[in-house]
Structure 1
Amino acid sequence: MRLKIFLFMSIIALLGCTSGHQSGYSSFDEYPVYNGPWEEMVYTPAETRFSLWAPTASEVRVMLYEHGSEGSMYRMIPMEPAEDGMWNARVAEDLKGKFYAFNAKIDEVWQGDTPGLMARAVGVNGNRAAILDLRTTDPEGWANDRRPVLNHFSDIVIYELHHRDFSIDTVSGIRHRGKYLALTEDSTHTYWGDKTGISHLKELGITHVHLLPSFDFSSVDESKPDKPQYNWGYDPKNYQVPEGSYATDPFTPKVRIREFKQMVMALHKAGIRVIMDVVFNHTAQTHGSNFERTVPGYFYRHDADGNFANGSGCGNETASERPMMRRYMVESVCYWAQEYHIDGFRFDLMGLHDIETMNQIRTALSKIDPTIFIYGEGWAAQEPQLPKEQLAMKANVSRMPGIAVFSDEFRDSLRGNWKHESRGGFVIGKFGYEGGVKFGLVGAVRHPQLTSNASNQYIHPWAEQPTQMISYVSCHDDLCITDRLKKTLPGASPQELGALMKLAETAVFTSQGVPFLFAGDEFMRDKKGVSNSYNSPDSINAINWQLKNQHRDVFDYVKGLIALRKAHPAFRLGDAEKIRAHLEFLHTPADNVVAFCLKGRPNGDSWLNTIVILNPRTEPVTVDIPNGKYWIAARDGKIDLVLGLGNLVGNQAVVSPRSALIIHQ
């Protein structure tokens, strides 16, 4: 369920009935499907060609402008109808540096200016598209940029960040605070010497950065770069263009493109892949959107009364099942993968999209690079218009090979249900959550020890492979884990909170799913108790880099967990059959304690018979283990993979309160 409530929700009040099917079409199924190259502007010095798919229009114009936001049109070019609903125009002169907009006349009404659906460069605030040669936006060395090596999806460690959150704090030592270029600055640090920015990411050891929406969105006025403005960006405007407010100059179209590419290249050089958060399930506006001004009604679903459906909770829901919307989504992600070298995509409210579209996206991206990772939210905000069996819901993930979803079962079992902020879960010692924790530890796949007969905590497995499950305890949505712990355990000391944080992240990083970390959780970042901080000021959202110094022990522990996972393939088996063969849950004498053994040396691990015990109780617990001599890798909130933390001999392990024990023979 989504928690984002945008300012543009007021637009819902403006939503009336749609104008119906246009120009003789009795249903959207009858609309022509264009199969040629879908390029709305093709520039050469000799000519510029314009195209727009507007099958219900009786006239279409393209207007030329000298400037990206100001001034009147200096020339209007009528477009000519072509095959399958396409309209074309050609200007035989050099238009480099000019701007353009389309306007379609439908049922005798001019719909209003739009930069089109496929604009790849825009002026400030994205109301006019820009004419440029994309190759002039490539930074030096771009042609040699390469994705960092990724052998298997199970090797992924994701770090979710918002551009402004990550770098706006003056303590960070970052020059381009809140901008794309912040992620190009190496060797930044606080005045205590703690690494920040991209240096922090390398120190932490993550493999993928998940960027909150970075396409052109509506809620921030790019023309006022000096005015503090904030939004998560889940209000799409132009899907193929980087957001201008994160650029040093939002008025010059090529700057945002070049700086985005510089950011990607810098992350790649640091060995970090880049995931882009995409929001195809709704648009910021309905009436007035680029979709609606071009082909009214077609790109959105409608309810039984003909009104715009609202499965997104944001005023509309797009119709991914319609051929041209499906093609639009496929071509958009492929464009970002090829033009911007993006390495993965996170789909907002993926449960609103149909399964066939998501599978086509997987197929298309695999042709570019099969290591491009795809995952999303396997749910919708409200009831979608398509039957659930057709939708990319979590329950249907087995029908979407190579696509992952978030496990809210694991999240809620660890920290408490999102609906009840003051109720905790396993981590603070609440009873009855062991089943959900075990479900997450095996990666949401079928496991012989997790059956409906064994426990009333049974959760039906929905993943075919563990790499289809995102393992997490917090993200940008809802309370971050520090705020959640403060709310569910009032009065807890910083030391207690740190111990609980370490325990929660131990579960995440020893899970067979793909681990996901919210930026700043690694040193107990908070948002002052604000859960839906989509437009809260920097005082709420900004990462306070002083916390890295204050909670260095938590950072070092999370860093150690990532190193543990990367060094030992037993924690990332990547195969359901191997998990069933090697991961065995151990009997625990106390409720609300979870213990498991990774038997043998799975995947050729150098460790033998690795055991993990999670104890959220306020007293020590003793767990029976196979008799032997064990090397202690983690105990009492500390990790040491080099020298270790001592030995354990015998057939019992004692685990301290609110901590995890990791040992191996």
Structure 2
Amino acid sequence: MPSPSRVRAVRSSRPVPLGVSPAAEGAGGVVNVAVFAPEIRAVDVHFQDRSGRWQAVLLPEQTDGVHHGTVEGLPEGGRYAFWPHGQAVPGGAGQLLLDPYGRGIDDDGGIYYSVHVGQDFDWDGDTLPRTAWRDTVVYECHVKGQTMLHPGIPPELRGTYAGLAHPVMLDYFTSLGITAVELLPVHFHIDEPHLQELGLSNYWGYNTLGFFAPHPAYATAAARAAGAKAVQDEFKAMVRKLHAAGLEVILDVVYNHTAEGGEQQPALSFRGLADDVYYRHDANGYYQDTTGCGNTLDFSQPRVVQLALDSLRHWVRDYHIDGFRFDLAVSLCRDTRGVFTPRHPFLAALSTDRTLAGTKLIAEPWDVGPGGWQTGSFPPGWADWNDRFRDSIRDFWLADRHPLNHTRPGGSVAKLAGAISGSAELFAPSGRSSLASVNFVTAHDGFTLADLTAYDRKHNEDNGEENRDGANDNRSYNHGVEGPTGDSRVLDARAHSARTLMATLLLSLGVPMITAGDEIGRTQHGNNNAYCQDNQLSWTNWVLDDRQEQMLKTTRRLIKLRKSFLRHQPYSYPARTDDAYLLWFNERGEPMSVRDWEDSRTRVVQVLLGSPGGSSDGLLVFNGSAENRKVVMPAASLRTETGAGAERHMFELLFTSSEMGDRRRGAKIRGGERETVAAWSIAAYRI
């Protein structure tokens, strides 16, 4: 950067809003600039004027740690950054300090500049879908990976915001039946130094540098060439088109740390402006770390809470975002002592904010600090990623195979039943129902669904850490062969298990989340931590074999079945005990006893689910044993007490995850009669 000319600030200024905004006078070409930097005596803003020449302006006023001034000559699309007044400016292409509120960021060969970006956009009557939690089916995907290999999308749009909203992809989403796309981080992010040394990149994007700016690398080449405003507009057009297709857009957001990393990494923005405020420190001044990333943001500081709230409001107001999934959310709710509290000011502010009212708030309810596991502890208005559901489902259908194959007992059906019911007991103490449970079997982090059935061990050698990274406890089962095989029996067994896992996910109470590609058998070849694999290992491959086509067909059918079960239930279902019932039966068609629940040999359970006034009640039968079982269908009435003389209903088979599914669909069995349920299968019936 050449030495700037120095000009003076003009007119009166104000300390709010932070960042660059129109000047109070409304004079053309004049903007208000405000930056929170209480640890700096005086601050200059450096910027490129319309001729491309760098200028420097002292922000002459300071209010409560905010330096502010009005500046003439900073155009829309112009670069700018901050630096302490009177200190030598980095020579050449040196890194200045980014605006934490910058609406755009330019990467000039590893040197970053904030960009002044206007927010005008023609939303053309955009309407938010506002899908009820009861009806929500979340699809977690990566903007780039979702379309990078799709043959039906033009090459110039693959891997981009525009590609994600292409008619081919919109048709795919709607035909699948999902209601919301949850995008891995799209805030501006950069690669960690150790990845750069390995020639890798942070593909997932959990390394945010700008909380107000969309990541430009996901925009088309044409938009990137046109500048930050075009990138922003492409993102907004994507949201508008997804909304028009009835799909909500949820962003995975990372407010727990920033890309500045540990103490040894350079100051890019927050560290140079207000290190003592933005980051948690111990009594000796060292960073406290509850995220594993080296520099945890300090949400006991009002300015940090304000930063996150202002960012969230920006994405709702200016980008029409429908909800947020908060990465390592426990770190955002630790008080001055570092203790998690569900009454944290950040949570209180979110629950009362008018701009954020109605948005979906999803917690990843853990971090790596003391007391970091808080699933079920977030307050009303939040939904939690339910890792207990994930572990229980994997245990019952996969991990238990290892002891059972050696005639040792596996787990009982009790944990499975808790998961099927949406872990209601886990959420009740916080005043929430199973609608607060975001159920998942897989996520971006870990094995894919196909790999859960094909690998007993992780295979992360490509990550450059000698396979030390990633989880070791995967609760998976390879069906006798580790990795790829040509044995059709093994492949069929794996496909069977995948169908059973998907069926359990989509037919349980709570809110299901599908990881992109699980519905078509996507594999990462055993890599369970592909965060740095921006290549075909992580991208979705749309060339499908017969088994993958069958998995897609099955997933579509299951989502339709889920919706049919719920169609006549109240939207609060199952929020109140008088709105819903779950009646549990053993394989003899008798109500489950305490002994049944506690016996580890019990591997079959049936559940009737519905509401007293509902007309779409269903029966689910789970057989987690290694052999087909003759199951007696429940003879009890759904709306009366069980017992002698109870009405016997007719059950129509709608789905089974076994190979006989299509052949027997539509079969009818009366209550009290026997029905064969295949080994390691789930069967669903309409009454």
Is 1:147 matched up with 2:146?
no
CA distance in 2, matches of 1:161, 1:124: 25
Kept in 2: contact 1:58–1:107 (CA 8 A): no
Kept in 1: contact 2:385–2:438 (CA 8 A): yes
Kept in 1: contact 2:50–2:73 (CA 8 A): no
CA distance in 1, matches of 2:174, 2:276: 46
1:124 counterpart letter in structure 2: D
CA distance in 1, matches of 2:449, 2:502: 10
**Structure 1 stretches lacking a partner, 5+ long:** 1-34, 189-196, 448-458
Q: How many Å apart are 1:274 and its aligned residue?
A: 0.2
CA distance in 1, matches of 2:424, 2:126: 36
Could you say if the C-alpha distance between residues 154 and 460 of structure 1 is closer, same or farther in structure 2, counting changes exceeding 3 Å? closer
- CA displacement, residues 18-43 of structure 1 (integer Å, 9 cap, x when unaligned): xxxxxxxxxxxxxxxxx963331014
User: Which residue among 592, 595, 604 is the counterpart of 2:603?
Assistant: 592
Is 1:490 matched up with 2:477?
no
The aligned counterpart of 1:529 is 526
Is 1:101 matched up with 2:81?
yes
Could you say if the C-alpha distance between residues 245 and 623 of structure 1 is closer, same or farther in structure 2, counting changes exceeding 3 Å? same
The aligned counterpart of 2:163 is 182
The aligned counterpart of 1:345 is 324
Cα RMSD (Å): 3.5
Higher RCO (C-alpha 8 Å, min separation 6): 1
Could you say if the C-alpha distance between residues 254 and 199 of structure 1 is closer, same or farther in structure 2, counting changes exceeding 3 Å? same
Could you say if the C-alpha distance between residues 613 and 282 of structure 1 is closer, same or farther in structure 2, counting changes exceeding 3 Å? same
The aligned counterpart of 1:379 is 366
Instruction: Give SS of 1:77's match.
Output: strand
Kept in 2: contact 1:54–1:86 (CA 8 A): yes
The aligned counterpart of 1:649 is 670
1:342 counterpart letter in structure 2: I
- CA displacement, residues 405-444 of structure 1 (integer Å, 9 cap, x when unaligned): 1111111122249xx9997999xx9821523222221112
CA distance in 2, matches of 1:145, 1:220: 37
1:490 counterpart letter in structure 2: G
CA distance in 1, matches of 2:88, 2:54: 24
Moved more, 291-300 or 86-95: 86-95
CA distance in 2, matches of 1:79, 1:479: 51
The aligned counterpart of 1:407 is 386
Matches within 5 A, 1:360-375: 360-364=348-352, 367-368=354-355, 370-375=357-362
Identity between Structure 1 and Structure 2 (%): 24
CA distance in 2, matches of 1:106, 1:629: 84
Kept in 2: contact 1:413–1:433 (CA 8 A): no
The aligned counterpart of 2:118 is 133
Instruction: Give SS of 2:544's match.
Output: helix
1:132 counterpart letter in structure 2: V
2:177 counterpart letter in structure 1: G
Could you say if the C-alpha distance between residues 282 and 564 of structure 1 is closer, same or farther in structure 2, counting changes exceeding 3 Å? same
2:320 counterpart letter in structure 1: H
The aligned counterpart of 1:90 is 70
Could you say if the C-alpha distance between residues 573 and 442 of structure 1 is closer, same or farther in structure 2, counting changes exceeding 3 Å? farther
1:351 counterpart letter in structure 2: V
Kept in 2: contact 1:482–1:525 (CA 8 A): yes
1:313 counterpart letter in structure 2: G
The aligned counterpart of 1:278 is 253
- CA displacement, residues 230-254 of structure 1 (integer Å, 9 cap, x when unaligned): 6100000001000011012435111
1:75 counterpart letter in structure 2: Q
Instruction: Give SS of 2:105's match.
Output: coil
CA distance in 1, matches of 2:424, 2:677: 28
The aligned counterpart of 2:233 is 258
- CA displacement, residues 193-212 of structure 1 (integer Å, 9 cap, x when unaligned): xxxx2221111010000000
User: Which residue among 585, 594, 615 is the counterpart of 1:606?
Assistant: 615
CA distance in 2, matches of 1:566, 1:655: 23
Instruction: Give SS of 2:64's match.
Output: helix
User: Which residue among 438, 459, 471 is the counterpart of 1:470?
Assistant: 438
- CA displacement, residues 21-74 of structure 1 (integer Å, 9 cap, x when unaligned): xxxxxxxxxxxxxx9633310146331111111122211000012599xx8x62
CA distance in 1, matches of 2:480, 2:424: 35
Moved more, 250-259 or 620-629: 620-629
The aligned counterpart of 1:219 is 191
Could you say if the C-alpha distance between residues 134 and 461 of structure 1 is closer, same or farther in structure 2, counting changes exceeding 3 Å? closer
Could you say if the C-alpha distance between residues 160 and 659 of structure 1 is closer, same or farther in structure 2, counting changes exceeding 3 Å? same
1:542 counterpart letter in structure 2: W
CA distance in 2, matches of 1:305, 1:423: 49
Could you say if the C-alpha distance between residues 425 and 330 of structure 1 is closer, same or farther in structure 2, counting changes exceeding 3 Å? farther
CA distance in 2, matches of 1:575, 1:37: 44
Q: How many Å apart are 1:144 and its aligned residue?
A: 1.2
1:48 counterpart letter in structure 2: V
1:102 counterpart letter in structure 2: F
Moved more, 322-331 or 118-127: 118-127
The aligned counterpart of 2:649 is 628
Could you say if the C-alpha distance between residues 505 and 361 of structure 1 is closer, same or farther in structure 2, counting changes exceeding 3 Å? farther
1:129 counterpart letter in structure 2: S
Q: How many residues align?
A: 585
Could you say if the C-alpha distance between residues 61 and 581 of structure 1 is closer, same or farther in structure 2, counting changes exceeding 3 Å? same
Matches within 5 A, 1:221-370: 231-248=203-220, 249-251=223-225, 252-286=227-261, 287-354=266-333, 355=342, 356-364=344-352, 367-368=354-355, 370=357
CA distance in 2, matches of 1:232, 1:100: 28
Q: How many Å apart are 1:115 and its aligned residue?
A: 2.2
2:350 counterpart letter in structure 1: R
Instruction: Give SS of 1:534's match.
Output: helix
Could you say if the C-alpha distance between residues 568 and 48 of structure 1 is closer, same or farther in structure 2, counting changes exceeding 3 Å? same
CA distance in 1, matches of 2:124, 2:61: 37
CA distance in 2, matches of 1:423, 1:41: 60
Q: How many Å apart are 1:580 and its aligned residue?
A: 8.2
- TM-score normalised by the chain length of structure 1: 0.80
CA distance in 1, matches of 2:369, 2:74: 50
Instruction: Give SS of 1:82's match.
Output: strand
Moved more, 340-349 or 74-83: 74-83
Kept in 2: contact 1:167–1:174 (CA 8 A): no
The aligned counterpart of 2:338 is none
Instruction: Give SS of 1:330's match.
Output: helix
The aligned counterpart of 1:78 is 58
CA distance in 2, matches of 1:421, 1:78: 67
- TM-score normalised by the chain length of structure 2: 0.78
1:660 counterpart letter in structure 2: I
Is 1:617 matched up with 2:646?
no
- CA displacement, residues 597-622 of structure 1 (integer Å, 9 cap, x when unaligned): 115x55x54324x2101223231123
CA distance in 1, matches of 2:203, 2:363: 20
Could you say if the C-alpha distance between residues 646 and 422 of structure 1 is closer, same or farther in structure 2, counting changes exceeding 3 Å? closer
The aligned counterpart of 2:105 is 122
Could you say if the C-alpha distance between residues 146 and 550 of structure 1 is closer, same or farther in structure 2, counting changes exceeding 3 Å? same
Kept in 2: contact 1:168–1:177 (CA 8 A): yes
